[in-house]
Structures are given as structure tokens and as C-alpha cells.
Structure 1
């Protein structure tokens, strides 16, 4: 099932790239494997996937220990400061930085292992109360503060758009994030590269790609509905 689903998602990614005049290789598909068993991840891995997204540091740590080391792990969930120590040595990218205190903790842990940790700033474009992320009007100030940290590098922006039945409803959200990244890039701030736009999930990744996403995070579309009962 996973291989067939993956093939379908890749086909849709390629079609969305074609519609928007982009190259498929400019979009990274992250297989969101949170709550999924090792066997399903191995199936996606054997089909060629090397980018996996996790929400919980402990779960990422456990999977990291037993799965191949050429996997790039993405921390895409809300990250508590006391769990940063599990993530920094294992993640290739942290998508969910939304405060200076969190960035400082990442910087501290990265220093210990002589690593510059690539991060994305999470923006709550839709201002949903239930979602993490900084509001757009506070974004520039946070970027300037985080950019001064030696062992953290800002690589771009991330957003989680509202859940919608019709993905067209989120087009404006993605367009806004893209424009923010363009505006920030023009400021040429040291230690800030607006290289990555992480936006779009199973319900809306095609529109996100059309609006400039360079990373899309697809879980259900690849692995099927999540079963929260199989994890503590």
C-alpha cells in the first residue's frame, strides 16, 4: 500500500510542478511517519524515500536508532525546550521554531556537538488559536534575533495551513508565506537564507507547490490514516 500511495503522491507533485512551470527536483517530499511502525517506514525507504518527518522527539530518537543512517529526519511538530537535546543530534532540519527561547536552546545543544543546526521559522499565517507559530507581524523581529545565534541557521519558513476540504481555500495562506520569504530575502540578513518554504500537507500540497513550496509534508496520503492507539 505504501509504495502505491507514494507513487501516486509523487505523480501529483510532478503534475503540480508542471502546472506551475517548476522542476520536480525543486520540491522535496517529506513522508510524515509520526505514529507509524518501522515496517511502514522501511517500505517507503525501499521505494526510495529518504526524507521522513516526525512530531515527537522521543519517537524520532527511537526510529533513528534502528533505521538506516542515510535518512534525513525532519522535526515538524511543536518542540518543547526540554526535548531539544533529543532532536539536535538526529534531525537534519527543525521546521517548528517559533520563539527566541526555543532557538537559544537549539543553539546551546548544537554548540555541544559542534553543529550548526538548520531551522525554519514557523509562521501561523491564519492566526489559528490551536496552532503553534509566530504571527506575521512578529516574524521580522524574531528572525533578526535568531540570526545572531552562532549555531543556528535560518533556512526558510514553515506554516501549517487550516484543514480544508477544498485546497483552493488555502492558496492565499501559501501565497502570503511565499511573499514573506521574498521580503525577508531582500533584506540580506546575515545567517538567514530564504531557501526553504515548508508548506502543504496531504489535503493541500498541490496548491502549496503551485504557490512556491519547496518542501511538502505528506503523511496520510502516503501511510494512510494515523492510528494513535499503537503508541504510548
Structure 2
């Protein structure tokens, strides 16, 4: 199966998940996680019609970012160290892993230097796993209030990572929890439109529970 066939398969599965949940499939963005592959493969993914690409290590991403001249929306989806912000911001349009105040301050500082705004998602540890980064659900609203004066940060939604499970149904409550948290915050923070959740093993359940961005790696990108 080539990249176009893989992309079509993912899009079809999203379409079916949207039909089951009464959603418009155009509201779901597929982010191809290209950390597994080099420039030629990434170009092939673009040719398959996917224009949103995700990376989680700036050192691996920069050769692709600089080599690819086509219009691409780059998403930084991994843990972002504060000392790497200056390297990431000139190239990435989205930061999915805003998970602490020190990172917010550095994003604001570097965005001011570049005279840009940064689209961010607040990472939430819905499952409560100690191995995962992110705010607890109870910490999100105080954090949003604290960073509300940081004019360069455009917090556009929430992100979570579900536990690894043999059955995707086991993690449905995690995705539903993020949706419910987002919906509870929207009256005060109406710009929280996005939910980044779901990966190769569970993205259909995530879409059924309201995901607007799914981060697809192995089933889409690996040769």
C-alpha cells in the first residue's frame, strides 16, 4: 500500500467515525507524524494530500522543514524544552504541548522577538498517568487565567495522550473527559475550539468523541 492509499484509508475511517457520531468529517485534521521518515517520504505524504505534518524533536525536524518548500502546516507535538523554543517557533505554526508556566513565558518571550503569534494547545493529563506530562483537569482553568495577559499566545484548544490499550474502547473515557473539560471552559474561553487527541491505534474513537486533530504515525507514515 502506498502513501496515497494509506491516506485515503485513514480519511475513509475518519469519514465513517464522523458518520457514526453525527459530525462533519471536514472538521477533523489529519496530522501525519513524520518523525519516522526523511525528506523523500515526507514529500510523498504531501503528494497524498496531507498538508499538516507533526514532529516531536526539533533536531530531526529541521532538515525536513528547511528542505520542503511546499506549503505545509507544521505541528510540534512532543515535549518542548524551553531552550529549544527559539529553534522551534520560526518554523512551526502549532505547539501541541503547552504543559507548564515556564514554557508559556518562553513562548511569549520568543514570539515577541519574532513579532508573531503562536497557536497553542494546552496539554492535559486526563488519564492521570505519572509517566505523562500535562496539567490535571483541575489545573487548566487557573493556568488559562494566569496566561491570559500573554498576548502572543493564542490558546486554541486542548491536547491529551491516551494510555496504550489493546482495545480502543478502553480509552474512550479519556477522550470524552477532554471533550467535557473543553466544553466546560468554552463559555469563558470561546477560542478553545480544538481537541488534539487520538493516534494510529485509537483515532476513530477519538473522532467519535470530538477530536478535531488526530496525530497519525505508524499506519500512515511508516513504509
1:199 to 179, 184, 197: 197
CA contact (8 A) 2:36 2:221 kept: no
Aligned length: 222
Aligned twin of 1:72: 73
What TM-score do the two structures reach when normalised by structure 2? 0.96
Question: Counterpart in 1 of 2:85?
Answer: 84
List runs of 5+ in structure 2 lacking aligned partners. none
Match of 1:230 in 2: none
TM superposition outliers: structure 1 runs of 4+ over 3 Å:
none
What residue ranges of structure 1 are gaps of 5+ in the alignment?
A: 226-232
1:179-218 matches, cutoff 5 A: 179-188=180-189, 193-218=191-216
Structure 1 length as normaliser, TM-score?
0.92
1:53-84 CA distance string (max 9 Å, x none): 00011222221100124100000000000000
Q: Is the 8 A contact 1:58 1:86 kept in 2?
A: no
- Separation in 2 of the partners of 1:121 and 1:59? 23
What RMSD over aligned residues (CA atoms) do the two structures have, in Å? 1.2
Aligned counterparts of 1:20 and 1:184: Cα–Cα separation in 2:
22
Residue 173 (str. 1) matches residue 174 (str. 2): yes
Q: Secondary structure at the match of 1:187?
A: coil
Contact conserved, 2:36 with 2:222, CA < 8 A, in 1? no
